[in-house]
């Protein structure tokens, strides 16, 4: 692969940048105006590495360095659940709670699209899931674009 191709980290950053206008518009409806996003490396599986090593990229939006609650930790917990189970954590929580582990966050807010796992925390959990979905789809489609134009 030549140097003109973006690395996965760059694709992750661009995916978030691409959906930021929608996130900003969504903040007009949410209970808080800050959030944290975690994107897992779609090339790594739970049986291949530790969770923290599989985090591809994470970013806080509108964070003032003092969280009302630890939304960055919450987003990582949601991401870990989704990455571990290869499905949005709402599925595990609602339909398969026997798979939950001690310490799993009892809120949903992740999205899985193919091998792309994204989780978000900071606003209502249904909006966390929406933002996660936007980012996951943007990430994969930017990767598709790169693959198709090489």
How high is the pLDDT of residue 3? 46
Chain segment 16-42, per-residue pLDDT in tens: 999 999 999 999 999 999 999 999 999
For 87, the token pair is: 């499905």
Instruction: Specify which residues 61 forms β-bridges with.
Output: 35
Return the domain boundaries, the chain: 8-148
Chain segment 100-109, per-residue pLDDT in tens: 899 989 899 9
Q: Which pTM does this prediction carry?
A: 0.93
Write the CB contacts of 36 (distance below 8 Å, at least 6 apart in sequence).
58, 59, 60, 61, 63, 71, 72, 74, 75, 120, 121, 122
How high is the pLDDT of residue 2? 43
Chain segment 49-93, per-residue pLDDT in tens: 999 999 999 999 987 778 889 999 999 999 999 999 999 999 988
Instruction: Specify which residues 119 forms β-bridges with.
Output: 38, 110
Cα–Cα distance measured from residue 72 to residue 38, given in angstroms and rounded to the nearest whole number: 8
For residues 111-134, give the mean pLDDT. 97
Place of tokens 């929608």: 22
Quick one: CATH architecture of 8-148?
Answer: 2-Layer Sandwich (3.30)
């Amino acid at each position: 692969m030549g140097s003109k191709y973006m690395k996965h980290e760059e694709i992750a950053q661009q995916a978030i940048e691409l959906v930021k206008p929608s996130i900003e518009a969504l903040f007009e409806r949410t209970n808080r105006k800050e959030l944290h996003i975690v994107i897992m490396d779609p090339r790594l599986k739970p049986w291949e590495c530790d969770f923290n090593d599989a985090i591809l990229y994470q970013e806080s939006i509108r964070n003032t360095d003092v969280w009302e609650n630890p939304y960055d930790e919450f987003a990582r917990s949601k991401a870990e659940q989704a990455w571990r189970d290869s499905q949005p954590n709402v599925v595990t929580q609602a339909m398969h709670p026997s798979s939950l582990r001690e310490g799993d966050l009892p809120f949903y807010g992740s999205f899985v699209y193919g091998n792309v796992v994204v989780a978000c925390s900071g606003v209502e959990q249904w909006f966390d899931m929406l933002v996660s979905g936007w980012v996951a789809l943007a990430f994969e489609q930017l990767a598709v674009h790169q693959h198709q134009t090489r």
